[in-house]
Amino acid sequence: MDTLIHLDPLPSVESSFAIDEHLSEQAGTRLARLWCHRPSLVLGLRDARLPHADEAISHFRSLGFEVHVRTSGGRLVVLDEGVLNVAIAFSGEHLPSVDEGFRLITATFRESIHGLGLDCEVGEIPGSVCAGKYDISIEGRKIAGVSQRRRRAFALLHGFLLVEGTGRQRAQDAITFYDLAGAPPKDAVQPGTMAALSEFQGSCTIQTAARAVEDVLRAIPDPVPSGDGTGWTG
């Protein structure tokens, strides 16, 4: 699979998401893009509808954060220069199913992390930022999460991987947002549920993580009709 790497932040986080979606809409696309961005809060639709979301957004903008509401699934994600974003775009006749898409991007992260010499697990980390059953964790702390955006003719798989910095600070940013926005207790983020790869391996950088992910992506085979209607076995 061809891979584009944009580790120098674009003018806005919205523009990065727009590029990902544009790529996924091109006929016959099988392409991945890796990118980073300056400090940003990327909200899910539920986050943007919280009773005091406007006040929370204003607070973070006053601190220099960008704020963007994403169209793919999931909840709030904290991005910065130490977070590697991965987008895998497909369009055309043969698309992975929803479950296959989640398995594909999860396996991409898992194999990349193994390539960096670390072991990880897949499964929900309750109390983490944007918790879900495809969370990827090391020693019980979430280091990566995934989501999807789909239409009839395309699938766009998104994921974030915490590489540099600390998971605790990003969790604290999420806690602050939800406290200010008036989120119900069930949305609470807990300190100590997040980590970055560099906290387990000090030599890990955005550049080394991007190379590891790119190596895995380039090895993904072309889809082969599976006979079950999905047209996907890769």
Locate the domains of the chain by residue range.
2-218
CB-count exposure of residue 138 (10 Å: 0-12, 13-18, 19+): buried
What mean pLDDT is reported for the chain?
90
Contacts of 118 (CB under 8 A, 6+ apart): 138, 197, 200, 201
Q: Is the dihedral of CA 103, 166, 218, 118 positive or negative?
A: negative
* Predicted pLDDT of residue 229: 40
Q: Which residue has the tokens 């789909």?
A: 150
Residue range 138-159: mean pLDDT, rounded: 92
Residue 120 designated active-site = no
Strand pairing report for 66-69 and 40-43 = parallel
Structure tokens at 78: 């904290």
* Predicted pLDDT of residue 233: 38
User: What sections of 159-221 are H helices per DSSP?
Assistant: 167-181, 206-218
Q: Which of 36, 120, 130, 204 is catalytic?
A: 130
* Predicted pLDDT of residue 193: 97
The neighbouring-strand residues paired with 160 are: 85, 145
Give CA–CA dist 93/154, Å, rounded. Answer: 9
Could you tell me the pTM of the whole model?
0.91
Contacts of 48 (CB under 8 A, 6+ apart): 69
Contacts of 43 (CB under 8 A, 6+ apart): 53, 57, 67, 68, 69, 70, 75, 76
* Predicted pLDDT of residue 234: 36
Fold exhibited by the domain 2-218: BirA Bifunctional Protein; domain 2 (3.30.930)
Structure tokens at 120: 């990880």
Residue among 94, 132, 33 nearest 222 (CA): 94
Instruction: State pLDDT tens for residues 178-225.
Output: 999 999 998 899 999 999 999 999 999 999 999 999 999 998 875 544
Residue range 133-156: mean pLDDT, rounded: 93
Give CA–CA dist 9/204, Å, rounded. Answer: 20
* Predicted pLDDT of residue 26: 81
Instruction: State pLDDT tens for residues 93-143.
Output: 778 899 999 999 999 999 999 999 999 999 999 999 999 999 999 999 999
Residue 73 pLDDT class (50, 70, 90 cuts): low
Secondary structure (3-state) at 30: strand
Secondary structure (3-state) at 202: coil
Tell me which of 164 and 3 has the higher pLDDT: 164
Residue range 147-162: mean pLDDT, rounded: 90
Q: Which residue has the tokens 């190379």?
A: 211
Give CA–CA dist 183/220, Å, rounded. Answer: 40
Does the structure show a pLDDT above 50 at 43?
A: yes
